[in-house]
Amino acid sequence: MNSHSTPPHEAQPTVMVIDDDRDIREALQGLLRSVGLRVELFASVQEFLDSGQLSRPGCLVLDVRLPGRSGLDFHDDLVSANVHLPVVFISGHADVQMSVRAMKAGAIEFLTKPVRHQDLLDAIQRAILYDGAHREEQRTLGAIRTNFDKLTSREREVMALVVAGRLNKQIAAEIGISEATVKFHRGQVMRKMHVRSVAELVRIADKLQLTHPQPQTTSTKV
């Protein structure tokens, strides 16, 4: 169904349709292609998994009822496996319970057959945008991590205290080094993390979800 090489697709998002009904697959393919979207068709979850395209940019269009594991169960699997591929559900029934479950689990949209093409295209558009944004964020986070990994343990210590709002003097006192040495480490952190202000450093620390090391300990010590 698809070549093994992933890089060329990296640029253009793909709508991956999983539906066991061939007529539905073909109809969706026709519709999506007419608006210029790239489409891949799969008859089952297994077929999709076997194709190894979990990390491909784009979104999934999933039938709720699929042979074997249902679309909803598969979505749960994706969520718990930390796969953030956005999902648009299509169901033969306007089942409120099902749609609530799907939306709670983070689905982009839950549409009822026969689907209005504009609703579907809108949902797919949103899904693709969400996926793009998410991937962008992941990429940024990846870069930050790489930078952070380059810090020495002393630099990490200093960085944690800086983002916790301590002054150089306080930091020097807290970890028992001279203020000049703190300044040096602080300069290294800013350079290695590619930031120019403390505010920026705080934002990055948030993304890294760094826990501030016992912010209250200093006051008790003093």
Is 1 an interacting residue with respect to other proteins (CB under 8 A)? no
Indicate which single residue of 67, 142, 165, 215 sits in contact with other proteins (rule: CB under 8 A).
67
Determine if 93 is a binding residue for other proteins (CB under 8 A).
Answer: yes
Task: By CB under 8 A, name the one of 1, 35, 83, 167 that touches other proteins.
Answer: 35
CB 81, min distance to other proteins, A: 21
CB within 8 Å of 46: residues ≥ 6 apart = 68
Report 2-21 residues binding other proteins (CB under 8 A): 20-21
Cβ of 86: how many Cβ atoms within 10 Å?
22
CA separation for the pair 161, 214 (Å, rounded): 9
- Our CB check for other proteins shows the closer of 117 and 212 to be 117
Report the Cα 65 to chain-centroid distance in Å.
26
Q: Does 28 bind other proteins (CB under 8 A)?
A: yes
Half-sphere exposure of 118 (CA within 13 A, CB side): 0
- Are 53 and 96 contacting, i.e. CB atoms less than 8 angstroms apart? no
Q: Under the criterion CB under 8 A, does residue 114 sit at the interface with other proteins?
A: yes
Judged by CB under 8 A, which stretch of 49-57, 107-115, 137-145, 168-176 contacts other proteins? 107-115
CA distances 59 to 38, 83, 99, 107, 159, Å, are 11, 11, 18, 11, 38
Note the residues at the interface with other proteins (CB under 8 A).
20-21, 23-24, 26-28, 30-31, 33-35, 65-70, 90, 92-93, 113-115, 117
